[in-house]
Structure 1
Amino acid sequence: MSQTQLAIAAMQPEEFRRKVVAHLRSTLGSFEEKATAHTWSQALAATLNEYIYAGRSRTLKTQIESQARTVHYLSLEFLMGRLLASNLHNLGLYQVAEQAMALQGLELADLLEQEPDMALGNGGLGRLAACFIDSMATLALPAIGYGIHYEHGLFRQEFIKGRQVERPDQWREFGSPWEICRPESQQVVKLYGHVETIHDQNGSRKVWHPSRMLRAIPWDIPIVGYGGQNVNILRLWESRADHFFDWDVFNAGGYVDAYAELVQAETVSKVLYPNDETDAGKELRLIQQYFFSAASIADILRRFESAHGNDYHLFATLNVLQLNDTHPAIAIAELMRLLVDEKQLAWQEAWQITQQSFAYTNHTLLPEALETWSVSLLQTVLPRHMEIIFEINRRFLQQVDERWPNDQQMQAKLSIIQEGEKKSVRMAQLSVVGSQRVNGVAKIHTQLIKTELFPEMVQLWPEKIRNITNGVTPRRWLKICNPRLAELIDQHVDADWPRYLEKLEQLKPLAKDKDFQQKFMAVKQRNKQALVAVIKQLTDVEVSAEAIFDVQIKRLHEYKRQHLNLLYILVLYRRLLKNPALDICPRVFIFGAKAAPGYRMAKDIILAINRVAKVINNDVSIGGKIKLVFLPNYRVSLAEKLIPAADVSQQISLAGKEASGTGNMKLAMNGAITLGTHDGANIEIAEAVGEQNLVLFGMKVDEVKALQHSGYAPQHIYQNNEEIKAALDWLSGDFFTPEQPGLLASISKNLINEDPFMVLADFAAYQQAQQRIDSFYRQKSAWAEAAILNAVSMARFNSDRSIMEYANDIWQLKPIPAAEC
Structure 2
Amino acid sequence: MKDERKLPAFKYDYLGLDSQTIKHSMANRLEYSAGKDLYTATARDWYHVCAWVIRDRLMERWMETMRSYYRQDAKRVYYLSLEFMIGRTLSNSALSLGVSDELGAALREIGVDLEQVREMENDAALGNGGLGRLAACFLDSMATLALPGYGYGIRYEYGMFNQRIENGQQIEHPENWLRYGNPWEFPRAEVLYPVKFNGRVITYPDDSGERRYQWVDTDEVMAMAYDTPIPGYGNSTVNNMRLWSAKSSRDFDLNFFNQGDYIKAVEDKNDSENLSKVLYPDDSTEMGRELRVKQQYFFVSASLQDILYRHRKYHDSFDNLPDKVAIQLNDTHPVLAIPELMRILIDKHHLPWDKAWDITRRTFAYTNHTLLPEALETWPVAVIENLLPRHMQIVYEINQRFLNEVMHRYPGDTALLRRMSIIDEDNGKRVRMAHLAVVGSHKVNGVAALHTELMKKSIFADFDRFYPDKIVNKTNGITPRRWLKQANPQLAQLISANIGDAWVTDLDRLKQLMPLAENNAFRQQFREVKRHNKQQLAGLIKQRLNIDVNVDSIFDCHIKRMHEYKRQLLNVLHVITLYNRIRLSPDNGVVPRTVIFAGKAAPGYHLAKLIIRLINDVADIVNNDPAVDNQLKLVFLPNYNVSLAEEIIPACDLSEQISTAGTEASGTGNMKFALNGALTIGTLDGANIEIKEEVGDENIFIFGMTADEVVERKRAGYRPLDDYRNNAELGQALDMIATGYFSPTEPDRFQAVIDTLTTHGDNYMVLADYAAYVECQERVAELYRDQESWTRKTILNTANMGKFSSDRTIREYAQEIWQAEPVDVELSDHAIEKKAG
Structure 1 gaps of 5+ residues are 1-6
Partner of 2:811: 804
1:479 partnered with 2:485? yes
Q: TM-score under structure 2 normalisation?
A: 0.96
Question: Residue type matched to 2:789 in 1?
Answer: A
Partner of 2:210: 203
Partner of 2:276: 269
Partner of 2:631: 625
Number of residues paired by the alignment?
814
What RMSD over aligned residues (CA atoms) do the two structures have, in Å?
1.2
Tell me if the contact between 1:664 and 1:674 (Cα under 8 Å) persists in the aligned partners. yes
Tell me if the contact between 2:22 and 2:102 (Cα under 8 Å) persists in the aligned partners. yes
1:504 partnered with 2:510? yes
The SS at the match of 1:79 is coil
Q: CA deviation at 1:34?
A: 1.2
Q: CA deviation at 1:507?
A: 1.2
Residues 526-675 of structure 1 mapped to structure 2, 5 A cutoff: 526-675=532-681
1:233 partnered with 2:240? yes
1:384 partnered with 2:390? yes
Tell me if the contact between 1:535 and 1:541 (Cα under 8 Å) persists in the aligned partners. yes
Question: Residue type matched to 2:768 in 1?
Answer: A
Q: CA deviation at 1:495?
A: 2.3
Tell me if the contact between 1:751 and 1:760 (Cα under 8 Å) persists in the aligned partners. yes
Pairing partner for 2:522 from 508, 511, 516: 516
In structure 1, how many angstroms separate the alpha carbons of the residues matched to 2:233 and 2:709? Answer: 44
Residues 258-337 of structure 1 mapped to structure 2, 5 A cutoff: 258-309=265-316, 311-337=317-343
In structure 2, how many angstroms separate the alpha carbons of the residues matched to 1:51 and 1:15? Answer: 11
Tell me if the contact between 1:157 and 1:167 (Cα under 8 Å) persists in the aligned partners. yes
Deviates more, 1:545-554 or 1:12-21: 12-21
1:740 partnered with 2:742? no
Pairing partner for 2:142 from 136, 159, 163: 136
Residues 395-434 of structure 1 mapped to structure 2, 5 A cutoff: 395-420=401-426, 422-434=428-440
1:31 partnered with 2:31? no
Q: CA deviation at 1:572?
A: 1.4
In structure 1, how many angstroms separate the alpha carbons of the residues matched to 2:589 and 2:289? Answer: 52
In structure 2, how many angstroms separate the alpha carbons of the residues matched to 1:154 and 1:475? Answer: 26
In structure 1, how many angstroms separate the alpha carbons of the residues matched to 2:552 and 2:395? Answer: 59
Residues 194, 244 of structure 1: CA spacing in aligned structure 2 closer, same or farther, 3 A cutoff? Answer: same
Question: Residue type matched to 2:812 in 1?
Answer: E
Q: CA deviation at 1:228?
A: 4.3
Pairing partner for 1:114 from 120, 135, 142: 120
Tell me if the contact between 2:236 and 2:827 (Cα under 8 Å) persists in the aligned partners. no
Deviates more, 1:451-460 or 1:751-760: 451-460
Tell me if the contact between 2:582 and 2:590 (Cα under 8 Å) persists in the aligned partners. no
1:817 partnered with 2:835? no
Q: CA deviation at 1:210?
A: 4.2
1:681 partnered with 2:687? yes
Partner of 1:790: 797
Post-superposition Cα deviations, 1:634-655, rounded to whole Å, max 9, x if no partner, equal 1000000000000000000000
Q: TM-score under structure 1 normalisation?
A: 0.98
Post-superposition Cα deviations, 1:778-798, rounded to whole Å, max 9, x if no partner, equal 111110011111112111000
Post-superposition Cα deviations, 1:681-710, rounded to whole Å, max 9, x if no partner, equal 001111111111110111011111110111
Tell me if the contact between 2:15 and 2:21 (Cα under 8 Å) persists in the aligned partners. no
Tell me if the contact between 1:580 and 1:623 (Cα under 8 Å) persists in the aligned partners. no
In structure 2, how many angstroms separate the alpha carbons of the residues matched to 1:583 and 1:212? Answer: 70
In structure 2, how many angstroms separate the alpha carbons of the residues matched to 1:447 and 1:8? Answer: 54
Post-superposition Cα deviations, 1:62-102, rounded to whole Å, max 9, x if no partner, equal 00111100010000000111000000000000011111111
In structure 2, how many angstroms separate the alpha carbons of the residues matched to 1:672 and 1:801? Answer: 22
The SS at the match of 2:79 is strand
Partner of 1:247: 254
In structure 2, how many angstroms separate the alpha carbons of the residues matched to 1:249 and 1:42? Answer: 40
Question: Residue type matched to 2:767 in 1?
Answer: L
In structure 2, how many angstroms separate the alpha carbons of the residues matched to 1:489 and 1:815? Answer: 29
Question: Residue type matched to 1:252 in 2?
Answer: Q
Tell me if the contact between 1:21 and 1:32 (Cα under 8 Å) persists in the aligned partners. no
Tell me if the contact between 1:85 and 1:112 (Cα under 8 Å) persists in the aligned partners. yes
Pairing partner for 1:173 from 179, 186, 189: 179
Post-superposition Cα deviations, 1:588-618, rounded to whole Å, max 9, x if no partner, equal 0000000000001100100100011011100
In structure 1, how many angstroms separate the alpha carbons of the residues matched to 2:657 and 2:43? Answer: 38
Post-superposition Cα deviations, 1:316-370, rounded to whole Å, max 9, x if no partner, equal 1100110000000010010001111111111101000000000000000000001
Post-superposition Cα deviations, 1:247-276, rounded to whole Å, max 9, x if no partner, equal 221111111211111110111100000011
Residues 144-159 of structure 1 mapped to structure 2, 5 A cutoff: 144-159=150-165
Deviates more, 1:74-83 or 1:445-454: 445-454
Tell me if the contact between 1:586 and 1:626 (Cα under 8 Å) persists in the aligned partners. yes
The SS at the match of 1:236 is strand
Partner of 2:784: 777
Partner of 2:772: 765
Partner of 2:455: 449
Residues 133, 421 of structure 1: CA spacing in aligned structure 2 closer, same or farther, 3 A cutoff? Answer: closer
In structure 1, how many angstroms separate the alpha carbons of the residues matched to 2:37 and 2:522? Answer: 47
Q: CA deviation at 1:8?
A: 10
In structure 2, how many angstroms separate the alpha carbons of the residues matched to 1:379 and 1:210? Answer: 14
Pairing partner for 1:718 from 724, 746, 768: 724
Tell me if the contact between 2:96 and 2:231 (Cα under 8 Å) persists in the aligned partners. yes
Q: CA deviation at 1:459?
A: 1.8
Q: CA deviation at 1:10?
A: 7.2
Residues 175, 10 of structure 1: CA spacing in aligned structure 2 closer, same or farther, 3 A cutoff? Answer: closer
Deviates more, 1:40-49 or 1:733-742: 733-742
Tell me if the contact between 1:751 and 1:759 (Cα under 8 Å) persists in the aligned partners. yes
